[in-house]
Structure 1
Amino acid sequence: MKITVDFEECLKDSPRFRATIEEVEGDVCELESKLDKLVKLSVAMIDAGKAYNTANRQFVSGIRELAQQSVKDEVIEVSGFILFDQAQRSIKSQLQTFVKEDLRRFKETKKQFDKVSEEKEAALSRNAQAPRNKQHEVEEAASILTATRKCFRHIVLDYVAPSVGNLLFFFSSPGYDLFSELQPLMKHLCGQLDQLVVDAAKEKWDMEVKHSTIRKKDYSNDDTKLEYNVDADSGIVMEGYLFKRASNAFKTWNRRWFSIQNNQLVYQKKFKDNPTVVVEDLRLCTVKHCEDIERRFCFEVVSPTKSCMMQADSEKLRQAWIRAVQNSIATAFRDRSDDSEMNERKKSSPSTSSLDSEPREKSLKGEGALQKVMAIAGNSTCCDCDQLEPKWASINLGITLCIQCSGIHRSLGVHFSKVRSLTLDTWEPELLKLMCELGNGVINQIYEARREELGARKPQPGDPRQEVEAYIRAKYVDRRFIRRPSDEELKLKVVTLCKQGKRLSFSSEPQPPRAPPPTPKARPASGTSGGVCDMRLWGVAEAAEHQPASGSKEQVMFSEPKHYCPGLQLYWAAFTRSLPNMAEALAHGAQVNWINTEEEKRTPLIMAVQGGSLVTCEFLLQNSASVNQQDSQGRGPLHHATILGHTGQVCLFLKRGANQNASDIEDKTPLSIAVEAVNADIVTLLRLAKMNEEMRESEGPYNATGDETYQDIFQDFTQMASEDPDKLNRF
């Protein structure tokens, strides 16, 4: 019987180690019963052998008297006695000694192991419960835990030592004496015995080295081997003990064995238990530190449906687990991206795509997206810590990030930052344009305008994560470094945007005439590639052009607007397609769904439609603009895009869930407007969207993606609208 226990598992005291111990204990119990049986059988065999020897001796005497045989028979007789005498010494005596002494010592060691194990669990719980504000309790709990851990390790090594290995020696040595005359067999047996002695000495030496390692080890932090291994053969990339707070009313803490496997976070109490899944898909979760509770070393894994509070045994282990979860999230996104790329290659064919699939994939994925974004000034380093070659981005801010800062941004929540990989994810053309029109330089001019003035230090690569996270929260959540504009500066900026809008309105190149829209009130004066806003919107700009240059009291005041605010800046910046001004307005507190009550309750998104820019609409939608918010005429962004014939914007709004069945105050839906305007492309898009919606409803919730042909056609329309909008101007 050979007991083998992995030394690393022994040190970690993992459920796998506990399961091995239980298996060995069961084997020892079974061995004990079999040995008892064997002892009884050997006694019976020896007694029967003695009786056989007596009968055999009598039989041989009879033969000797009859045939007067030679001494040869005497050798047989003596060999028989030797055989049973050796059997009695080698089997009966040795087995009885093993059962009475060695197994008894094994059971006593088991009792010590169970006792010390319970003491260790109690010390761990006491250390975990020590409040951070009572230092003497923390030190006392830590010292008790250190002593208990060291004692536990020594007991474990003694417990798993091969106590039954010498049994082979007990059986083999008498056999060697008994069959010394059998040279071929004895030569082989001697080699085995020599190897057994060497192996036993080596195992004894290894055990001494392990005991020495335990004596030298620092147990103030039980930092067992704990690292992230994405290529692990078992599929488990990370595992270890953590305290988990229960979701019941008592909020009790239980120690469980956690592991990250198959893009999931799971835990189990015993090795043979079925794992309990905490997070189904790591791509949908985030992880963050928790410093606002009494317990130390806590962190939280948050998913869209629930959150799980956990506690590590030390700060080092907490950081290791947080890094492991963050790396697992990144790996999950990479794996999903690779699968999506393979599926798209299988699906792509000339019959389902009007564009060449290979150039599109090359321009929207991997190195293509990275090169385009990195070409913007300031994007070659991380926006928040200046780490070289960032591979991540925040698509609603338009900045590039390193892996550490991207994890911190993800923990802020999507209402602050939406993180995407530059190399692993698919990038739509309008998103790439958004990233190219903003960039780290533009955003840092807004969000770090007063950083040097306030004396705040910007993090550098290699700084502790806590410092980087504190800086990012101060920058984007608290907006501590933003320079707030004065009323005069804000007024001047709005007036300038109005003038730019007016110049854009009247300098656009004319296009072929469109069929008349259904309502003359909304019809543009002249067709433009970007669309024209209604002329009545320009009261502000007209008044601005006739103002005196000086700031005297005789200055002509605007009839509208009556007051200035960041929302008004966002409103006009959306029309003039100025993403830097839009980002600045949002940073200054503008509401993305701000309503201009003096202009038919229009929103910045409706003004972006009027301005004709697809990337402006994308920027507002990435910052949580409502795609169904209506103006005073009952028209949402989809209505306005249909009236102006902006096919790319129609595609975008339909993909973002715009309600194509909504009616304005004249009971006109986008489809009826497109039919009256004889715009075949938009009619096709709206009808496809309607069919796809009906198909999803009929097939139930298990096929929520809709028709693949519909998805391919929408992708082609979006690509064409972004890269070559003239192809969509068909009448």
Structure 2
Amino acid sequence: MAAFIRLDDSPMFQNQICSLELTADELKDRCQSLYKGCKNFMTALGEACNGDTIFADSLEAFGGGTDDPVSVSVGGPVMSKFISAFHELATYKELLRSQVEHVLIDRLMHFMTVDLQEAKDSRRRFDKAIHAYDQARERFVSLKKNTREDIVAELQEDLENSKSAFEKSRFNLVNALMNIEAKKKYEFLESVSAIMDAHLRYFKLGYELLKQLEPYIHQVLTYAQQSKEQAKVEQDRLAKRIQEFRTQAEMDALRASSNIDPSAGVNVIRVFGMNSHKSVEAIMQSRANGEVQTIKQGYLLKRSSSLRGDWKRRFFLLNSQGSLYYYRVKGTKPMGSHPQHFTRPAEQNSGMFGRFRSKHNRGASLNEDILSCRTVDLRTSLIKMDAEDSDLRLCFRIISPLKTYTLQAENEADRMDWINKITGAITSLLNSQFFDQPSHITTNPETNKSTGGASHGVQTRNSHQDLGDDIKSNKIECVSSILRGVPGNDLCAECSAPEPDWASLNLGILLCIECSGVHRNLGVHISKLRNTLSNQLQVRSLRLDVKVWEPTILDLFRNLGNAYCNSIWEGLLLLEDVRADDSNALIASTSKPCPKDAIHLKEKYIQAKSQTSDHRKNQTATMSGTSSVGDKSLDSGSAKSSSKPVLLSNTHDNLSSHPITTHKLNGENYLQWSQSVMLFIRGRGKTGFLTGATQKPKEGLESIETWESENALIMSWLINSMEPTISKTYMFLATAQEIWEAAKETFSDLGNSAQNYKDDAGTYGPIIPSSNKINN
């Protein structure tokens, strides 16, 4: 307070306040500039910290693995200490960034938003207090001598209060300004010096860390120099081996070409191939010991399956398991079209498998650019000399049911070597029982006489058979778990027996064994059955049934299930039961059987359900005729009405008090209820009463009585399909559309779910506008 010599309110006092305010404003501008620079500095430190972390992570990903051969080869274990050091340096930099944020930026922000802002707010309150004090003073001094004493006392009290508020705000402004003057002398010096101390500790920690690593760094540099000299020696050895390899390859090519005499024709080629077959079969025998050897590998030109039919260089590999693979050469450009080759699309589609191959080739051509390795199935393939185009040289074909591979070698010797070895592999695969059958009893006569050898062969076959059964059993159990996971599939769809074992493929339901027998008697045009599971005897006796459960069939059963199907079939059966007359005794008076009921009761119920579709078609036709008559009667009453009700015959009036669905609305099953009710109403051509398309005729027309009768009938259907605690709140609505919309708005997740509520009595009720209530 030393800056203010006197505290009286005077022009000098006001001048000092203005001077301090100007200083505070200038200080605020400088603080904002400093704040921007601090933010940029902190951002740079954060980016540098992130850069150190990213560099350490990339270095760790490059060679941080201790067991990875690539990491070991590039010195990953040696660099592990360096990686840890970089992570530690990043931690130090993050600590520095955090200190800049808290010690400098946060304190600077607090000074601007609290101290400077407090001075600004104090000035605003001071100006307001001056204005109030001036008004009170003017009102008091303007009083006349004859003014009543109570008014004078009131204005005098108001003047004193205004003056007190003025003095308080004046000194608050002085305190705020002097607080700024005091803090600016030490706040910034303290913050900046703290940041410098943080930098000192940052560099000190980094120096101490790197000082400890200094001996290790020099040791690694020495080791790297030694490795460099050793690598140079190994490169010289590799160059020598490459030269020897090229010399040997040229000698092998000359030797192979000398074995083929063009004048000898095919006979010499076949003799040479027989020797190759024997060598291939000898190599493929090693697969029984778990050894996989490479019979032949090398590059061949492969004709593409695209429309252009261009030639691409692929690396082929034939191993002792009879598998032929070819690989794309990534990193090099594919070869263009061969100048002397002509595209023959008919070559790909010739033969009995041409149509299937063309479809397969389209999919293969799409995946060929993605996959780096493809497999050729040799067990169902054969080799043909040359290509379809007889003008092409050095070509041969591998023809399989899925695709025809047209290949071209670089020379005649290489082509014959590939043909002979692939042919030998195919012959060995066809003669071998290794893949498809278990090991048989040895052909040694002495072993055949031995009982132990025979029993060993039988045990081997049994073990392979058990293995196949286990695989089939696992597949069936997987199908079983999927089917029984669908809602309602834990019980039989007809009699509710637990754990149903049979499925109707065209109905999408699971059945017990007794109900499946009834369905089988109905014929496959109604219900097509397959066994689903479950015990080992069923698995063994119904092996081929597993092929039925393709993904599309499983998806169908997931979307259907017993619960959903019965909501439709049994709902229709209930309607047919109510409408049944004396001429249809089979459908009338049917009830769902229990698991322990006699088979004839189950058969009666199932047959009644199977006849509901035909019976319902006839009813639909009848209703259509009745509807047309009703339309004419309404049309004659109101020619201007664009939507007319579809009439029901009077024979259906007995349905007004009967529930139209087995899913009564209980407040939680709106979707099931609405679907089943809409299905019933749509079957009778009455959806216009729910959607509002069937408008009420004008008063005075004859058709209004018919409309009101139809509307009352549909209202009774809707109310009888609800639980009593819900239906009693809908009885006071005027139309079926209002009931339908109110139920949707109250219970549907697709409507206004916020309007679900219970009234004081604990029952559900709709939110109904007052205009929708029936006028009494």
Question: Could you say whether these structures have the same fold, taking a TM-score greater than 0.5 normalized by the shorter chain as the test?
Answer: no
TM-score calculated relative to the size of structure 2:
0.23
TM-score calculated relative to the size of structure 1:
0.24
Instruction: Identify the structure with bigger relative contact order (alpha carbons < 8 Å, sequence gap 6+).
Output: 1
